[in-house]
Amino acid sequence: MMTCGLAPRTRIRAFRARQYVLIIAEGKLPTPGSEVDIAQSPPEIFPPQFTVRRCTRPGSWPQRVTPYRDATTVRFPQDQTTVTVHHAEGTDQVDIESCGEELSFYLRAVGENADRPCPPGADEATGFSRKLSFDEAFANARANLPPVQSPVADSLERIQVLQIGALFGSIAGFHDMFVRICRTHD
């Protein structure tokens, strides 16, 4: 069984890409036997806040300082200029930066200057999977769509996959499949 707690951090950055924020956490762990992830915590706070968690895998691990880098993409209110991130040393109010040239491929993945845009009035979203799973990335994209605003009680949604791809490397340490979708409804 894995035991989890807050992870230490040496640096946290956040980047705006349309309605999304890319949060990147870097730090050092006492052993290589831990996994780090960034999760929303607790879900009912607005604007959302996030936690950098460390979960230790079962077994014996050598005591060797091991650097980590983890990144996650979250839907985040566009009027917010900072994001709150909790970690082992406390809480940071992280300024949200613009994506520069180093993240131009990420901007394309979430639909900025896309070759295949959604038609006017349609909803668009992008989802990511660190496991390189289409099902997980598609489900994440679907969860990122806004609620349907239809005057019809049982409207039909049509979801089209606009783009499938993967991102590897960069300052975020990507190892993610992404799926960008477009939803229309009657």
Average pLDDT of adjacent 10-residue blocks, the chain of 186 residues = 89 94 95 92 88 92 92 93 96 95 87 74 92 96 87 82 92 92 87
Same domain, 178 and 130: yes
For residue 53, report the phi and psi dihedrals to the nearest 5 degrees.
Answer: -105, 150
Same domain, 91 and 18: yes
Same domain, 94 and 117: no
Q: What is the reported pLDDT for 15?
A: 96
Range of the domain at 51: 3-98
Q: What is the reported pLDDT for 18?
A: 85
Q: What is the reported pLDDT for 155?
A: 76
Any idea of the CA torsion for 35, 36, 41, 47, to the nearest 10 degrees? -150
DSSP notation for 75-121: E--TT-SEEEEEETTEEEEEEEEEP-GGGHHHHHHTTTT-SSPPPTT
Q: What is the reported pLDDT for 114?
A: 64
Same domain, 67 and 116: no
Same domain, 49 and 125: no
Structure tokens at 9: 């951090």
Q: What is the reported pLDDT for 48?
A: 94
Same domain, 7 and 93: yes
Total domains in the chain come to 2
Same domain, 80 and 36: yes
Same domain, 72 and 150: no
